[in-house]
Amino acid sequence: MSTIARPPLFKVARWQLTTLGLLSMFLLPLDWVVSLSVFIGGMIHIVPHAWFAKIAFNKVGARHADTIVASFYLGQAAKFILTAFLLFLAFLAANQIDVQIVVASFIAMFPLYLTLVTNVLRKHSA
């Protein structure tokens, strides 16, 4: 039995999805291309981070230390490859979306992500 619980990082993904969905719905009446571009950029950030959390925190406990380290390396590599692949797909769809807005919303998700992770982990450890 493990005494260290898995961090609730999927809560972060849920909050990010909620924020992104509300923002995209707000922008939809203004311009559907902007709304779609914001949504795609946000998803390019959320999906790889959620996948990393799934892979990296698959096992917990001191008995699984070697497996945990390997999972972190695998998760980080998967996150990098998935992010590159999703950005590549977005650039292929450049005639239907605004690539600058995709990249801007991708970058804008980082401060939200860091804030949410800090808050969730602070509540989790308290």
Domain ranges of the chain: 11-125
Percent of the chain scoring above 90 in pLDDT: 56
- Write the pLDDT tens digit of every residue in 26-56: 999 999 999 999 999 999 999 998 888 888 7
pLDDT at 67 over 90: no
| For helices 9-27 and 32-56, angle between their N-to-C axes, nearest 10 degrees | 170
Mean pLDDT of 71-97: 91
CB 83 within 8 A of CB 48: yes
pLDDT at 110 over 80: yes
Pick from 108, 110, 99: nearest CA to 34: 99
pTM over 0.85: no
pLDDT at 105 over 60: yes
Pick from 44, 45, 41: nearest CA to 99: 41
Mean pLDDT of 58-68: 69
Rounded mean pLDDT of the chain? 86
On the 0-12 / 13-18 / 19+ scale of CB atoms within 10 A, 18 is exposed
Q: Report the Cα–Cα distance between both ends of the chain, in Å, rounded.
A: 21
pLDDT value at position 8?
A: 73
